[in-house]
Amino acid sequence: MCNLENTKCKNKFQKIHCSNLIAIILFNLNIYNFKKIKPKDYHRTIVKLCNGDLFSEPVRIISKKNIISNIYDNKIKLYCYLFDEPDYNLCYNTKKYKTILLDGNLDKLNTGDIILFSSYAYDPIFRIFGDVTFSHVGMVVKINDQLYSLEMTDSYKLNNKIYTNKCLFPLYDKVDKYSGNVFICKLKKELNQNQLNILYDLIKNDYKIYSPIEVYLAIAHNMKFHNKFCCGSLIFYLLQQMNIIDKNIKIDNIDINSYLVNLCHQNTMYNYPIEFLCNNSNIKKIYKKTIEYP
C-alpha cells in the first residue's frame, strides 16, 4: 500500500489515484504537509494550493486558432468523463454552432427570442436534470429600447448586484461576464402587439424560484406551484400564455428545458441557436478566475 511516508509500493503496478500521487510527491519534497489531510480530500486540497500563494493561479493553455472548437470539445469531454460508461456518440458527435459578436448585432434581437446558456460550472448536474448541452434558459426582453435577459435564478451576482428569483439582467453585461457559452435563438416571426402586452403584464408578477424541497417534488412527482418556477418552466409558461406554444401541450417538469432546446433546433418557430460573444470576451472567458452560477 502506498502512503505519504513510504513511497515504495509492495506492488509496483498498483493503481493509484492522480491526486494521491501528487500528494505523495509534494509531501516527500517537503512542499506541503498532507499528514492531517484525509486521502479523500487530497484533490480538493491540491486545487486550493493553486491560489497564487504556494502555486501560481491556473492558466489554461490553448491554441488561439482553435479557441471556439476547443471550448466545446473540452466541455463535452469533461461531461463524458464524469461517468464510468459515457455515451460516446453524445461526447464526440456534438453539434457545432455558428459564433458571432454581440457588438453590432444588438439591433437584430427582439423580445421573445430564447437564450440558451451552457455553463462551465453546472455541467454535471444540470445536464442530467435539464438538457445535455444547455444548463439554463432565458428570454430576450426589450424595455425602453434596452435589452434584458429574463431569467429565474436563486442567486447571481452581476455588476456588484445580487439578483434572485425573477430577474432582468442587462443582456450585454450578462453575455460578457457569463462563465460559459451563450446562444440566442431568434423568433422567426416577431411578437405582435397583443403578445407583447401579455408578456409585459406577466413579467410584472413576483415570480419565485423553487425551494430545494419544491425542486424534488417538481422532478419526482411533477408537481406545480403557484407563481413558482425554475428557469425553463417560466419561459415555457410565458410562451404558452402568448400562444407561441399550444396551451394544451403538457410537458413533465424534468423535460421542459429539453423541450425548449428542441424547439430551437427544429428551425420552425425559432431559428437555429447562434453563439453570441462580446468583443474580445472569448479570450477573457478562457482565463476567467471566478465561476458564476445561473
The rounded percent of the chain whose pLDDT value lies above 70 is 72
pLDDT reading at 238 higher than 60: yes
pLDDT reading at 273 higher than 60: yes
Instruction: Name residue, grid cell 450585454.
Output: 172
pLDDT reading at 87 higher than 60: no
Q: How many residues make up the chain in this entry?
A: 294
pLDDT reading at 144 higher than 80: yes
On whether the CB atoms of residues 166 and 153 are closer than 8 A, the answer is no
pLDDT, tens digit, 9 for 90 and up, residues 20-33? 888 888 888 888 88
Task: Report residue 233's pLDDT band, with 50, 70 and 90 as the boundaries.
Answer: very high
Task: Report residue 63's pLDDT band, with 50, 70 and 90 as the boundaries.
Answer: very low
Query: Across the chain, what does the average pLDDT equal?
Result: 78
Helix (H, G, I), strand (E, B) or coil at 187: strand
Q: Output the nine-digit C-alpha cell for 259.
A: 423541450
* Residues 6+ positions from 193 with CB-CB distance below 8 Å: none
- What pLDDT score does 35 carry? 84
Q: Which of the two residues, 249 and 294, has the higher pLDDT score?
A: 249
| Residue 176, H or E segment | helix 171-177
pLDDT, tens digit, 9 for 90 and up, residues 248-260? 999 998 889 889 9
pLDDT reading at 140 higher than 90: yes
Beta bridge partners of 187: 270
pLDDT reading at 67 higher than 70: no
Average pLDDT value for residue range 187-215 = 93
DSSP state of 210: P
Could you tell me the residue ranges of all domains in the chain?
18-49, 98-278
Residue 23: CA count within 13 A, CB half-sphere: 26
On whether the CB atoms of residues 100 and 277 are closer than 8 A, the answer is yes
Strands 228-229 and 274-277: unpaired
Name the nearest CA neighbour of 16 among 30, 54, 32, 6. 6
Instruction: Name residue, grid cell 422567426.
Output: 188
- What pLDDT score does 59 carry? 66
Task: Report residue 16's pLDDT band, with 50, 70 and 90 as the boundaries.
Answer: low
CA-to-CA distance for 290 and 293, rounded, in angstroms? 10
DSSP per position, 69-124:
HHHHHHHHHHHHHTSSS--HHHHHS-----EEESTTTGGG--TT-EEEEEESTTHH
- What pLDDT score does 288 carry? 44
Helix (H, G, I), strand (E, B) or coil at 9: coil
On whether the CB atoms of residues 230 and 152 are closer than 8 A, the answer is yes
The pTM assigned to this predicted structure is 0.66
On whether the CB atoms of residues 209 and 229 are closer than 8 A, the answer is yes
Beta bridge partners of 276: 100
State the CATH architecture for 98-278: Alpha-Beta Complex (3.90)
